[in-house]
């Protein structure tokens, strides 16, 4: 999601602590973990310390039972201005070992951890979102915004690498993607929502409330089934129909068998026997 949001930007800016303290802020509140990329003076450009910290933060949150939903956002007036041209790229040029370690760690948090994260994730895009920031944006399950986006790589002499072009191809149609990959033209949140890059474009002063509302919906779902549903979707999308059929049936059996809540049986009984809920309209009482 992205925001049209001056108020939120100001609020984030005020709350941000200096970069030297921590490039990533983490706040747990009532089952929601709010991760804030925290380099507002650098528009939250992704630096090596931010990369390594994100790997740790995501690993920690994935096994924290108190956390049901994760939100990723940025401090100040940016979600993230993408990879840090000075610290991520120029500072590691000619240092292949350092670069390999850094690039691998970046791939780890931006898509290997995030795309298959065991809990639902929401990108709350509160401002500028450029280049390398597209990968974590697309790796999140849902997104809302008020922002300015751009595949700006072409403007400064590289291609959308890392895995940006691949991520973009997952959610945008080819005509839109090629247009922005080749022109580097910025576009706003409404356009991003129209192209499917984010789920919805929300006024800035409503962004946090809307994301919280969405997180609350997700918190009510059976977490075992939720985790399986998202992982199964991501994997099945890249399989043949035959493989997907077999895999999804097996995955569903696994989910039902290992569900400590026995949600399927409970929900069936509430619908068929007790007649206390209708699955088409709501979640069963947990
Ligand atoms: N890498 C390194 N530094 C960055 C950065 C990036 N991706 N994006 C912003 N910064 C730094 C600027 O160098 C500047 O640092 P300084 O204060 O030490 O001079 C500071 O952040 C503020 O940037 P500035 O350009 O003055 O802010 P702005 O609000 O006028 O513009 C942007 C914001 C995001 C439009 C602009 O900074 C920009 O175009 N950034 C690069 C975006 C990009 O192409 N990213 C793709 C990387 S893969």
The secondary element (H helix, E strand) that includes residue 126 is none
Which of 13, 37, 45 to mutate to test ligand 1, by most ligand atoms within 8 A of the CB atom? 45
Q: Tell me if 43 CB under 6 Å of ligand 1.
A: yes
Q: Which pLDDT value is given to residue 17?
A: 47
pTM exceeds 0.85 for this model: yes
188 alpha carbon – ligand 1 mean position (Å) = 18
Does residue 45's CB lie within 6 angstroms of at least one atom of ligand 1?
yes
pLDDT tens-digit profile of 79-128? 999 999 999 999 999 999 999 999 999 999 999 999 999 999 999 999 99
What is the residue with the minimal CA distance to atom 8 of ligand 1? 81
86 Cβ below 6 A of ligand 1? yes
Query: Using one digit for the tens of pLDDT, what is the confidence trace for 30-82?
Result: 999 999 999 999 999 999 999 999 999 999 999 999 999 999 999 999 999 99
Compute the mean pLDDT over every residue in the chain, rounded to the nearest whole number: 93
The three-state secondary structure class of 46 is strand
The model's pLDDT over 214-244, given as tens digits with 9 standing for 90+, comes to 999 999 999 999 999 999 999 999 999 999 9
Protein residue with least CA distance to atom 3, ligand 1: 84
| Among 43, 38, 60, 177, residue whose Cα is nearest residue 113 | 60
Q: How far is the CA of 128 from the centre of ligand 1 (A)?
A: 10
Q: What is the dihedral of CA 72, 75, 81, 87, to 10 degrees?
A: -100
Q: Is the predicted pLDDT of residue 3 greater than 70, yes or no?
A: no
Give me the percent of the chain exceeding a pLDDT of 90: 91
């Amino acid at each position: 999601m992205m925001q049209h949001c001056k108020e939120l930007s100001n609020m984030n800016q005020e709350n941000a602590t200096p970069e030297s303290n921590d490039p990533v802020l983490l706040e747990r509140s009532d089952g929601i973990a709010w991760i804030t990329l925290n380099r507002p003076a650098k528009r939250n450009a992704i630096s090596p310390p931010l990369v390594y910290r994100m790997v740790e933060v995501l690993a920690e949150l994935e096994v924290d039972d108190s956390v049901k939903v994760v939100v990723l956002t940025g401090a100040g007036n940016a979600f993230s201005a993408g990879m840090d041209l000075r610290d991520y790229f120029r500072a590691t040029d000619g240092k292949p070992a350092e670069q390999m370690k850094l690039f691998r760690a970046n791939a780890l948090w931006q898509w290997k951890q995030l795309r298959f994260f065991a809990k639902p994730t929401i990108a709350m895009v509160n401002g500028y979102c450029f280049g390398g920031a597209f990968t974590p944006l697309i790796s999140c399950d849902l997104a809302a915004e008020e922002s300015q986006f751009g595949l700006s790589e072409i403007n400064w002499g590289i291609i959308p690498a890392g895995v940006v072009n691949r991520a973009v191809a997952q959610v945008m149609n080819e005509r839109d993607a090629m247009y922005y990959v080749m022109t580097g033209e910025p576009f706003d949140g409404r356009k991003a929502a129209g192209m499917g890059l984010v789920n919805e474009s929300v006024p800035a002063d409503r962004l946090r409330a809307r994301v919280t509302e969405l997180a609350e919906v997700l918190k009510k779902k059976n977490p075992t089934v939720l985790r399986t549903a998202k992982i199964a979707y991501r994997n099945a999308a890249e399989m043949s129909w035959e493989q997907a059929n077999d895999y999804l049936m097996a995955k569903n059996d696994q989910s039902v068998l290992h569900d400590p809540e026995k949600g399927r049986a409970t929900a069936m009984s509430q619908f068929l026997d007790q007649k206390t809920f209708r699955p088409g309209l709501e979640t069963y009482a947990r």
